[in-house]
Amino acid sequence: MAEQQEIQLWQTVSPVEFVPRIKEQSEAQSLLIQTRQAVGYSVAGGQLAHAIQSRATHMLLDYTKAACAIRYQVDGAWEQLPPMERELGDAMLIALKQLCLMNATDRRSTQSGKLGLKVAKEKFSLTLQSRGTPTGEQVMARIEPDKVPFHRLSDLGMRDKMYSQFKECLDAHGNTILITAPKAEGLTTTWNIALEAADKLVRDFQSFENQEQAEPEIININANYFGGDTGKQLQEVLKSSILKEPDVLIFPELPDPTSMGLAVEQIKKTEKQVYARMVAPTAMQALVSYLAKYKDSAAEITPNIGAVLGQRLVRRLCDNCKVGFEPTPQLLNQLGIPAGRVAMLYRPFVPPPIEQQVDENGRPAPIEPCGTCAGRGYFGRIAIFEMLVPGEKLRSALLKTQDLNQLNQIAKSEGHRGLQAESVLTVARGLTSLDELKRIFAKS
């Protein structure tokens, strides 16, 4: 009797439906028919479906002579999966490259492509990036839902009190709002949700975007494009828009100093607002870098900084299996939490060693993994936010020094709560664990 072949992960789920990024319907259909004839089509469809079912945002394929190693990134943490046979892995990659309109026979060059995916009624975008390595090839697949699963900043973890303060700054006049985060820490999502939170019904919002890096459409925000095939420079587009007297000028990418000078002039003269997005580790580092970039306008910018929003992503404890424990007075003291303020902290459930998983009679009784988080202990991620609203002392100091320690001390004396203090609050709220904070801040 032939030995039964082991079922692989890609065979355990219904495959995704592929939607090539080709405008001509007949060409897209032809590509699907051509690719479907090879075995790699089914493997690719099943593996991506399994990744989506596992809540993976990234899938890393590492090809060596012997096999294709596979890893998923779930909630920001990497997980190793069983390797795939090299022959099968090659077939899967050929299909994916063809569907992403990449050169399937080129295993050395750096390439990238995009592809649409459908799972039932849900739609996703796949970005595929490949590059040759000394041992073979490495491929990163980024999977993003077309529909953002968050609607409000509170969905991302922002405290109600902070949201009220931030909303007030968003809807003010004559100020600058900076929204920042480290690279790959959810900046785009927070930016888009913050824009949605602003009062766009009674004010005119104008966004200035490079045509080659256009932002997603947001209701009541008018996009003004430069670069690409527009033949226009940002300064030209900005000057034209200013003549229409918009209320809010939006910069998804920091503009050149001359363009920012035009925007700052509008803040001073007509109490317009500026929203800007930038990558930075903390709110204070963002503010210092921002002023350094526009040093000729720093004296005009500094008095009108409304708020700088910073964030760091952490894994959220699974509500179904998290375990509460009573913190010791020493631990509360270390965290800066007053005695008696917090009765319970939480950590992820970690099952005992398999030999200890027995029933009351000592017989083996394996513990089933949590059905919600699949035994990870965490489900999804949230942002730890800090909101820096400069006081008079800090505004004065920003024009004299870039010493972060000194500036942070001044901000703290004026009531600013930094990322680490906000992190403790997030733990106290039962949303994440101390171990997760150690993991995140160890990367800093």
Domain boundary among 100, 120, 145: 145
Whether the per-residue pLDDT at 1 is higher than 50: the answer is no
Reported as a single tens digit per residue, the pLDDT across 179-189 is 999 998 999 99
Q: Does residue 92 sit in the same domain as residue 184?
A: no
Q: Does residue 107 sit in the same domain as residue 253?
A: no
Q: Does residue 65 sit in the same domain as residue 200?
A: no
C-alpha 220/C-alpha 163 separation (Å) is 21
Q: Does residue 135 sit in the same domain as residue 222?
A: no
Q: Does residue 127 sit in the same domain as residue 86?
A: yes
Reported as a single tens digit per residue, the pLDDT across 310-358 is 999 999 999 999 999 999 999 999 998 888 888 899 999 988 888 887 7
Q: Would 364 be classed as within a structural domain?
A: no
Question: How are the residues of the chain apportioned to helix, strand and coil, as percentages rounded to the nearest 5?
Answer: 35, 25, 35
C-alpha 247/C-alpha 243 separation (Å) is 11
CATH value at residue 204: 3.40.50.300
Domain count, the chain: 2
The two three-digit tokens of residue 360, written as one number: 């009351």
Q: Does residue 59 sit in the same domain as residue 185?
A: no
Domain boundary among 81, 116, 145: 145
Q: Would 125 be classed as within a structural domain?
A: yes
Q: Would 285 be classed as within a structural domain?
A: yes
Quick one: residue 228, left, alpha or beta (phi over 0 = left, psi -120 to 50 = alpha)?
left
Reported as a single tens digit per residue, the pLDDT across 227-271 is 989 999 999 999 999 999 999 999 999 999 999 999 999 998 899
Reported as a single tens digit per residue, the pLDDT across 268-319 is 889 999 999 999 999 999 999 999 999 999 999 999 999 999 999 999 999 9
Please calculate the CA angle 297-277-295 and round it to the nearest 5 degrees.
Answer: 15
Reported as a single tens digit per residue, the pLDDT across 137-174 is 999 999 999 887 788 999 999 999 999 999 999 999 99
DSSP string, 283-331: HHHHHHHHHHHTGGGHHHHGGGEEEEEEEEEEEEEPTTT-EEEPPPHHH
Q: What is the pLDDT of residue 202?
A: 87
Q: Would 414 be classed as within a structural domain?
A: yes
C-alpha 247/C-alpha 207 separation (Å) is 11
Which pTM does this prediction carry? 0.87
Q: Does residue 258 sit in the same domain as residue 115?
A: no
Q: Would 305 be classed as within a structural domain?
A: yes
C-alpha 255/C-alpha 241 separation (Å) is 15
Q: Does residue 108 sit in the same domain as residue 164?
A: no
Domain boundary among 121, 145, 169: 145
Q: Would 194 be classed as within a structural domain?
A: yes
User: With bands split at pLDDT 50, 70 and 90, how would you rate the model's confidence at 55?
Assistant: very high
DSSP string, 85-100: EHHHHHHHHHHHHHHT
Beta strands 273-279 and 176-181: pairing type? parallel
The two three-digit tokens of residue 128, written as one number: 């595929």
C-alpha 381/C-alpha 424 separation (Å) is 16
Q: What is the pLDDT of residue 2?
A: 43
Q: Would 393 be classed as within a structural domain?
A: yes
Q: Would 361 be classed as within a structural domain?
A: no
Q: Does residue 120 sit in the same domain as residue 256?
A: no
Q: Does residue 157 sit in the same domain as residue 239?
A: yes
Q: Does residue 131 sit in the same domain as residue 159?
A: no
Domain with 36, as residue range(s), is 10-145
C-alpha 188/C-alpha 253 separation (Å) is 11
Whether the per-residue pLDDT at 223 is higher than 80: the answer is yes
Q: Does residue 24 sit in the same domain as residue 128?
A: yes
Percent of the chain clearing pLDDT 90 (strictly above): 84
CATH value at residue 94: 3.30.450.90
If you count them, how many residues does the chain have? 444
Residue 92 contacts by C-beta under 8 Å, 6 or more apart in sequence?
A: 10, 40, 43, 44, 47, 68, 84
Q: What is the pLDDT of residue 317?
A: 97
- Mapped onto helix, strand or coil, the DSSP state of residue 431 is coil
Contact (CB, 8 A) for 330 and 437: no
